[in-house]
């Protein structure tokens, strides 16, 4: 029988049950439940004592502030106390069989109390989130919350929830025809007419039923026949119990008419065991109509009509009435009932049928049988379908959020100790294991998405909670273990650490748990998401020390003097709990998850006190060996499993448990208030130092303890795990925990905790991530140190900087590993693979290192000593040029804020970082290099003229020659720089001299790219300009291309040096080669310009360049273009040596134009033959036009007509096979 676990109490304790407020769940005791701290309420045997003490208990509760002021609570009657306990625990068959005669008022009160009394549970089965309590965050932070309060959209979504809609239907009077079928045993001496079989509940005791005047024997016999008759239909799905039915009218909407829904509910032992509604709802949760009817029964029980069970009604009928009843039933429902009715009739008329072998017949309306499963109705098929649908959407359409909400629902059920929690998780897990993407990803060797991976983590964590239920039965745990092993053995079952197998040994079973320790999981090649849950099946709660810790606030031993590492008590006599930390914290999470917050808190405090004691012992141990260890430079990882980023999230569990204990809620949100008024409200919570627990130091509180354990976990030295997902999880969990810490406002008490932990972390050596010597592959502390720095800075700046500077290191990127890597202890080397760290999150880690440095730079503004220290740390520890550049930019922005004068010290730091970036990226490719160079010049400008002069004098260590001339020197020489620096003439000249020197040096080193810039920069200095020109001439014959020379030549012409331009143009022509088909070559314009320049200078210059043109250019169209230009005008009037030209046009029959004409004709002939070799019909017309241009050139010669005719005749003869083309040639040229 599935039911909520109840805990065996060491001592009974009475509890007043004042009217059973709707805000309390069944089984909830005033002041909270407790593991081993008392029963929830006395049973029938102690009912008299309960009734006697009820008034006193209510008064005491009010005095303690547990009841609202101004409200009084009447004690319950002995009858109600007894009936309620029976209704909660006993199936009605057990009541019938246990007592021969039960007074009818007692039966009525049992039926009355058998219906669920908590609206919270109705809400749990009709909505994703009750809204009245915090979502239980899972150990990975994966659970999403839908708690309202986020605006109009959230409110609208809230109102669409079935629970909200059900309330609206109830409040709107839409529930009608409510009746309940329940057993009523007749009593001798009473009479009852057939017309009075319907009445209100609870009424005065009614007269006995007709036919029962002789006693209860006949009725009781009929009921026993009913029980026996169940066997005859055991294969039918019949939900036995009490039945509630009614109609719910759905008001007409704009597009839909009014509808009436018929609702039927079966209930037993304060649980709804089945629901049906004619609305056809297909969902995991109850529809709004079921909610409305359920709330009607809870809020208006006295208005519910009570009907007899159908077996009792039939018992009163004679033969004619029975026949009429059956025939009417078949007539009304003939399509559904007739086949079954005919089959049953045939079986009853058959003497040997199975149905005739059993005495009596079943009645599903007469209460539950002993063998009936007692659990809340859960539509398993819909759970499976919904999960399958969400998984098939692959993370789209909010499916990940929906799955997280399902996980939250499981946690909610566990907290209510509802057996459906494990049942629902099993259904979810089966669908996850059946996801076809698992096989696909395994075959392709690809990783699952990060969000999907987090869902698997939550799945594993929930199973860990379930198997660690302190009161689950052995057969339950065995069943879960069998199922977990089955899933674990599937090939596609995801591994615990994502994409890599974990080589760590089985560390979960740290305490001796007997001879039944599970050995299978430790031999598996990979640890899956279920491995820890399988291992947890071997854990138990029978340890006497553990039982005392969780069951009492007074468990101490002041006479205990064992000061060994694993002592059970500390020096104060307070209990300690030595267990593998993640496992111990999993116990805390299990207690919280199953609704035992006080017990979870007690264990959490014992664990934290144990951690603090271990911390102190480690510090003492290190200080005793400090000199030796530091001298050797040895270190080791002291914890193979880091607590932050661990699959079980131990630190997050401890932190959440302690924070919940110090949460302040001003209106007693969960006690004695109307639950439905609170659904959907978003309460603002704050945290305070509540009165100290017995096992805390003076001045400490749950809040200080939560903060301290978070700092302990974040500062732990731990090795970086293998695999992308595991490494991302370390970063993500660290950031989540710090985000929670940032929500807490620091006061003097918490600052003391920060100081204490910061000092320990700095002095604890290998036990701390901030120790003097750490392992090369330790998880860096940058993110944590940044939080420590900002928290400590206003209170202890020296300690803040010391902590942050220690955390700046990133040993994994150092060129030489510390000696500790070489001399690792053998037990470390066996589990930590010796690899170059495949740190997949390295870029994120470096960005966090950069953020830490930037934070320190910002804080150190105006403090020369600290700025120098931070700068030194940055230069030593940061190895990424992009991050150093970002820091340089950050420092520059901070130093030049608009509302203050520039901070020259910080500017110098910025410049120094910029210079380091220049040196780091000088010989490597970096797409931001030009941006970096421009920024550095800007920064140097802000620092002053001496900084600009310095970078130009040392340019070769910072810039390439191109950067130095085209960006640095050009910017320095610009008017904007002169104006910005307010330079006088002397300073301008000095800076210009440095720029010219730089330009000449760059031109010498890289004339191809720097010569033009050098000439430009040296224009105002004749000597420097001549030097630059000579550099160009020297490089022209060897290292410079024709395009570079043409560009410089055009510059020279523009500057008024035509002869120098001509000289450079002739040098450029010697490097040029244009083939016959390059008629679109970019150098054509340069060739035409060079010829035009020569033509303008005179006949001699033109005569000198034409041979170079003829030699370099083979393209006919280009040559003909040059030829026409030369024949149109007279060469320039000023020739070499000032000799005047004649002013006549140059003859085509004489040099140099005759040479050019012949070359042009020859180029046309060669090009024609080349084209005809591969010509296609679509190019025929283009070819004819080409020949027309060739004829124009031919005709420029005195015998050109004859040459062209011969040329055409040759074409006709050679290419006579191209008949169509030759026909076109004849048509055009004869």
Taking a C-beta distance cutoff of 8 angstroms, is the pair 414, 43 a contact? no
d(CA 839, CA 521): 28
Taking a C-beta distance cutoff of 8 angstroms, is the pair 992, 974 a contact? no
Whether residue 225 is predicted with pLDDT greater than 80 in this model: the reply is no
Whether residue 44 is predicted with pLDDT greater than 60 in this model: the reply is no
Whether residue 1010 is predicted with pLDDT greater than 90 in this model: the reply is yes
d(CA 197, CA 184): 10
The candidate with the shortest Cα–Cα distance to 856, out of 902, 788, 904, 914, is 788
Taking a C-beta distance cutoff of 8 angstroms, is the pair 374, 91 a contact? yes
Mean pLDDT of 545-549: 92
d(CA 109, CA 95): 13
Decide: residue 1171, CB within 10 A, 0-12 exposed, 13-18 middle, 19+ buried.
middle
Q: In 3-state terms, what secondary structure has residue 280?
A: coil
For the chain, the average pLDDT equals 77
With cut-offs at 50, 70 and 90, classify the pLDDT of residue 760.
Answer: very high
Maximum alpha-carbon separation in the chain: 156
Which CA distances in Å does 272 have to 266, 374, 427, 1065? 6, 9, 20, 100
Whether residue 670 is predicted with pLDDT greater than 50 in this model: the reply is no
Q: What are phi and psi of 1205, to 5 degrees?
A: -60, -45
Say which residues have a Cβ less than 8 Å from residue 410's Cβ, sequence separation at least 6: 421, 424, 425, 428, 462
d(CA 727, CA 840): 7
Mean pLDDT of 244-259: 83
Mean pLDDT of 802-820: 78
State the pLDDT at residue 694: 66
pLDDT digits (tens, 9 = 90+) for 1068-1103: 999 899 888 888 899 999 999 999 999 889 888 988
State the pLDDT at residue 156: 64
Q: Can you list the alpha helix ranges (DSSP code H) found in 279-333?
A: 288-299, 310-316, 319-332
How many CA atoms lie within 13 Å of 719's alpha carbon, on the beta-carbon side? 23
State the pLDDT at residue 664: 52
Whether residue 750 is predicted with pLDDT greater than 70 in this model: the reply is yes
Mean pLDDT of 158-178: 82
Say which residues have a Cβ less than 8 Å from residue 503's Cβ, sequence separation at least 6: 831, 833
d(CA 1221, CA 981): 74
Report angle CA 109, 113, 116 to the nearest 5 degrees. Answer: 160
Mean pLDDT of 628-654: 78
d(CA 500, CA 504): 12
Whether residue 696 is predicted with pLDDT greater than 80 in this model: the reply is no
Decide: residue 255, CB within 10 A, 0-12 exposed, 13-18 middle, 19+ buried.
exposed
Report angle CA 1042, 1043, 1048 to the nearest 5 degrees. Answer: 95
Strands 259-268 and 242-250: antiparallel
State the pLDDT at residue 583: 92
Q: What are phi and psi of 499, to 5 degrees?
A: -105, -5
Report angle CA 11, 16, 17 to the nearest 5 degrees. Answer: 120
Mean pLDDT of 1050-1064: 93
Decide: residue 709, CB within 10 A, 0-12 exposed, 13-18 middle, 19+ buried.
buried
User: Which parts of 808-857 are beta strand (E)?
Assistant: none
- Of 188-197, 492-501, 536-545, give the range with the top mean pLDDT: 536-545
pLDDT digits (tens, 9 = 90+) for 82-99: 888 887 777 777 777 777
Which CA distances in Å does 1036 have to 706, 996, 1107? 76, 21, 19
With cut-offs at 50, 70 and 90, classify the pLDDT of residue 684.
Answer: very low
d(CA 295, CA 139): 35
The candidate with the shortest Cα–Cα distance to 314, out of 326, 306, 304, is 326
Length of the chain: 1230
Omega before 826 cis (within 30°)?
no
Whether residue 69 is predicted with pLDDT greater than 70 in this model: the reply is no
Say which residues have a Cβ less than 8 Å from residue 648's Cβ, sequence separation at least 6: 139, 461, 464, 532, 582, 583, 585, 586, 589
d(CA 1108, CA 147): 86
Taking a C-beta distance cutoff of 8 angstroms, is the pair 448, 437 a contact? yes
Task: Return the residue matching tokens 């050098």.
Answer: 1014
- Residue 354: alpha-carbon gap to chain centroid: 60
- CA torsion through residues 568, 569, 574, 577, sign: negative
With cut-offs at 50, 70 and 90, classify the pLDDT of residue 38.
Answer: very low
State the pLDDT at residue 308: 63
State the pLDDT at residue 52: 34
Q: In 3-state terms, what secondary structure has residue 778?
A: strand
With cut-offs at 50, 70 and 90, classify the pLDDT of residue 152.
Answer: low
Strands 175-181 and 305-307: parallel
Strands 259-268 and 305-307: unpaired
> Among 620-629, 940-949, 1081-1090, 1198-1207, which is the least confidently predicted range?
620-629
> Among 301-305, 732-736, 1199-1203, which is the least confidently predicted range?
301-305
Task: Return the residue matching tokens 């039945």.
Answer: 243
d(CA 205, CA 109): 11
State the pLDDT at residue 236: 38
d(CA 324, CA 1097): 131
Whether residue 20 is predicted with pLDDT greater than 90 in this model: the reply is no
With cut-offs at 50, 70 and 90, classify the pLDDT of residue 699.
Answer: confident
Whether residue 636 is predicted with pLDDT greater than 50 in this model: the reply is yes
Strands 271-277 and 259-268: antiparallel
Taking a C-beta distance cutoff of 8 angstroms, is the pair 1061, 1068 a contact? no
The candidate with the shortest Cα–Cα distance to 849, out of 799, 808, 797, 896, is 808
Task: Return the residue matching tokens 């709804």.
Answer: 272
d(CA 1016, CA 1012): 6
Whether residue 938 is predicted with pLDDT greater than 70 in this model: the reply is yes
Torsion angle (degrees, nearest 10) of CA 563, 568, 570, 573: -120
Mean pLDDT of 610-635: 78
Going by the DSSP 8-state scheme, the letter that residue 70 receives in this structure is: T
Decide: residue 844, CB within 10 A, 0-12 exposed, 13-18 middle, 19+ buried.
middle
- CA torsion through residues 609, 613, 614, 618, sign: positive
d(CA 443, CA 947): 60
User: Which parts of 254-406 are beta strand (E)?
Assistant: 259-268, 271-277, 305-307
Torsion angle (degrees, nearest 10) of CA 602, 604, 608, 610: 70
- Of 406-420, 710-724, 793-807, 1187-1201, give the range with the top mean pLDDT: 793-807
d(CA 581, CA 610): 10
d(CA 267, CA 304): 15
d(CA 546, CA 550): 6
> Among 130-134, 247-251, 434-438, which is the least confidently predicted range?
130-134
State the pLDDT at residue 693: 58
pLDDT digits (tens, 9 = 90+) for 816-875: 544 443 333 333 333 334 444 578 899 999 999 999 999 999 999 989 999 999 999 999
């Amino acid at each position: 029988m599935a039911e909520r676990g109840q805990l065996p109490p060491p001592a009974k304790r009475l509890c007043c049950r004042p009217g059973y407020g709707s805000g309390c769940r069944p089984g909830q005791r005033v002041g909270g439940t407790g593991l081993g701290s008392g029963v929830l309420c006395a049973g029938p045997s102690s009912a008299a004592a309960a009734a006697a003490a009820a008034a006193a208990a209510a008064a005491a509760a009010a005095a303690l502030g547990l009841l609202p002021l101004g409200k009084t609570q009447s004690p319950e009657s002995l009858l109600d106390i007894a009936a309620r306990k029976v209704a909660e625990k006993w199936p009605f068959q057990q009541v019938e069989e246990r007592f021969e005669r039960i007074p009818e008022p007692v039966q009525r009160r049992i039926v009355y109390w058998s219906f669920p009394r908590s609206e919270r549970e109705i809400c749990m089965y009709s909505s994703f989130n009750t809204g009245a309590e915090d979502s239980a965050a899972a150990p990975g932070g994966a659970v999403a919350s839908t708690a309202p309060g986020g605006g109009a959209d959230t409110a609208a979504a809230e109102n669409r929830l079935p629970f909200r809609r059900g309330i609206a239907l109830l409040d709107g009077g839409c529930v009608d025809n409510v009746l309940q079928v329940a057993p009523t045993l007749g009593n001798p001496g009473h009479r009852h007419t057939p017309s009075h079989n319907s009445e209100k509940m609870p009424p005065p005791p009614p007269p006995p039923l007709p036919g029962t005047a002789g006693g209860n024997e006949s009725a009781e016999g009929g009921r026993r026949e009913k029980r026996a008759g169940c066997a005859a239909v055991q294969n039918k799905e019949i939900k036995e119990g009490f039945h509630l039915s009614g109609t719910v009218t759905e008001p007409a909407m704009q597009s839909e008419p009014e509808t009436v829904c018929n609702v039927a509910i079966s209930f037993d032992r304060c649980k709804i065991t089945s629901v049906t509604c004619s609305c056809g709802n297909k969902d995991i949760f109850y529809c709004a109509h079921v909610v409305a009817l359920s709330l009607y029964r809870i809020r208006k029980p006295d208005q519910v009509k009570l009907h007899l069970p159908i077996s009792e009604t039939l018992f009163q009928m004679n033969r004619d009435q029975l026949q009429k009843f059956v025939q009417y039933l078949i007539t009304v429902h003939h399509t559904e009932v007739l086949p079954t009715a005919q089959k049953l009739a045939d079986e009853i008329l058959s003497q040997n049928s199975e149905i005739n072998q059993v005495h009596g017949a079943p009645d599903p309306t007469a209460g539950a049988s002993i063998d009936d499963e007692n659990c809340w109705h859960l539509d398993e098929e819909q759970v499976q379908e919904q999960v399958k649908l969400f998984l098939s959407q692959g993370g789209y359409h909010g499916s990940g959020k929906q799955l997280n909400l399902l996980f939250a629902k499981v946690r909610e059920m566990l907290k209510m100790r509802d057996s459906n929690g494990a049942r629902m998780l099993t259904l979810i897990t089966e669908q996850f294991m059946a996801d076809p993407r698992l096989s696909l990803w395994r075959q392709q060797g690809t990783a699952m998405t990060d969000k999907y991976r987090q869902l698997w983590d939550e799945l594993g964590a929930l199973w860990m909670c379930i198997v660690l239920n302190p009161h689950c039965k052995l057969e339950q745990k065995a069943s879960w273990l069998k199922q977990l092993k089955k899933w674990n053995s599937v090939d596609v079952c995801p591994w615990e650490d994502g994409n890599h197998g974990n080589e760590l040994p089985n560390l979960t079973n740290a305490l001796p748990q007997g001879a039944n320790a599970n050995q299978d999981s430790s031999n598996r090649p990979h640890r899956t998401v279920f491995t820890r849950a399988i291992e947890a099946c071997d854990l138990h709660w029978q340890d006497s020390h553990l039982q005392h810790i969780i069951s009492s606030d007074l468990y101490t031993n002041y006479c205990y003097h064992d000061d060994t590492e694993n002592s059970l008590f500390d020096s104060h006599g307070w209990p300690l709990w030595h267990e593998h930390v993640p496992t111990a914290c999993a116990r805390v999470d299990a207690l919280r998850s199953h609704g035992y917050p006080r017990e979870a808190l007690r264990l959490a405090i014992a664990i934290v006190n144990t951690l603090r004691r271990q911390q102190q012992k480690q510090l003492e141990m290190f200080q005793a060996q400090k000199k030796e260890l530091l001298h050797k430079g040895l270190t080791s990882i002291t914890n193979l499993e880091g607590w932050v980023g661990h699959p079980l999230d131990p630190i997050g569990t401890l932190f959440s448990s302690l924070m919940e204990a110090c949460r302040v809620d001003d209106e007693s949100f969960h006690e004695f208030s109307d639950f439905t008024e609170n659904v959907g409200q978003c309460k603002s919570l704050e945290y305070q130092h509540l009165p100290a627990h017995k096992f805390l130091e003076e001045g400490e509180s749950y809040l200080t303890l939560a903060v301290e354990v978070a700092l302990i976990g974040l500062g732990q030295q731990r090795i970086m795990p293998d695999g992308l997902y595991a490494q991302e999880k370390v970063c993500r969990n660290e950031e989540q925990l710090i985000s929670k810490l940032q929500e807490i406002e620091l006061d003097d008490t918490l600052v003391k905790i920060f100081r204490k932990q910061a000092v320990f972390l700095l002095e604890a050596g290998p036990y701390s991530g901030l120790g003097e010597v750490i392992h090369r592959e330790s998880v860096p502390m940058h993110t944590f140190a940044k939080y420590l720095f900002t928290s400590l800075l206003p209170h202890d700046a020296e300690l803040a900087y010391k902590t942050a500077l220690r955390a700046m290191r990133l040993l994994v990127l150092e060129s030489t590993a510390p000696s500790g890597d070489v001399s690792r202890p053998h037990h470390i080397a066996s589990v930590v693979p010796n690899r170059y760290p495949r740190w997949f999150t390295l870029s994120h880690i470096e960005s966090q290192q950069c953020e830490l440095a930037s934070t320190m730079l910002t804080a150190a503004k105006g403090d020369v000593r600290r700025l120098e220290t931070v700068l030194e740390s940055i230069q030593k520890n940061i190895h990424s040029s992009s991050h150093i550049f970002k820091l340089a930019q950050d420092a520059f922005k901070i130093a030049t804020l608009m509302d203050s004068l520039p901070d020259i010290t910080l500017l110098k730091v910025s410049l120094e970082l910029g210079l380091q970036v220049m040196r780091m990226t000088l010989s490597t490719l970096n797409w931001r290099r030009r941006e970096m160079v421009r920024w550095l010049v800007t920064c140097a400008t802000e620092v002053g003229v001496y900084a600009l002069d310095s970078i130009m004098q040392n340019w070769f260590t910072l810039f390439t020659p191109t950067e130095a001339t085209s960006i640095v020197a050009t910017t320095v020489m610009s008017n904007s720089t002169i104006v910005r620096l307010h330079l006088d003439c002397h300073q301008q000249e000095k800076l210009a001299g440095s720029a010219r020197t730089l330009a000449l040096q760059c031109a010498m080193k890289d004339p191809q790219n720097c010569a033009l810039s050098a000439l430009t920069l040296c224009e105002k200095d004749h000597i420097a300009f001549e030097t630059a020109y000579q550099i160009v001439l020297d490089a022209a014959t060897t290292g410079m291309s024709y395009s570079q020379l043409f560009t410089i030549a055009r510059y020279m012409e523009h500057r008024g040096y035509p002869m120098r331009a001509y000289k450079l143009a002739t040098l450029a022509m010697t490097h040029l080669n244009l083939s016959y088909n390059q008629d679109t070559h970019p150098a054509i314009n340069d060739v035409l310009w060079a010829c035009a320049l020569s033509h303008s200078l005179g006949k001699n210059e033109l005569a000198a360049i034409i041979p170079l043109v003829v030699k370099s250019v083979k393209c006919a169209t280009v040559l003909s273009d040059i030829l026409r230009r030369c024949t149109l005008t007279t060469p320039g009037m000023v020739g070499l040596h000032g000799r005047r030209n004649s002013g006549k046009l140059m003859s085509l029959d004489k040099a140099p134009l005759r040479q050019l004409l012949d070359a042009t004709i020859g180029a046309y002939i060669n090009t024609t033959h080349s084209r005809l070799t591969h010509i296609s019909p679509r190019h025929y017309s283009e070819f004819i036009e080409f020949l027309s241009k060739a004829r124009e050139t031919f005709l420029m010669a005195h015998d050109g007509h004859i040459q062209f005719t011969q040329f055409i005749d040759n074409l006709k003869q050679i290419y006579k096979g191209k008949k169509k083309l030759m026909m076109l040639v004849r048509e055009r040229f004869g």
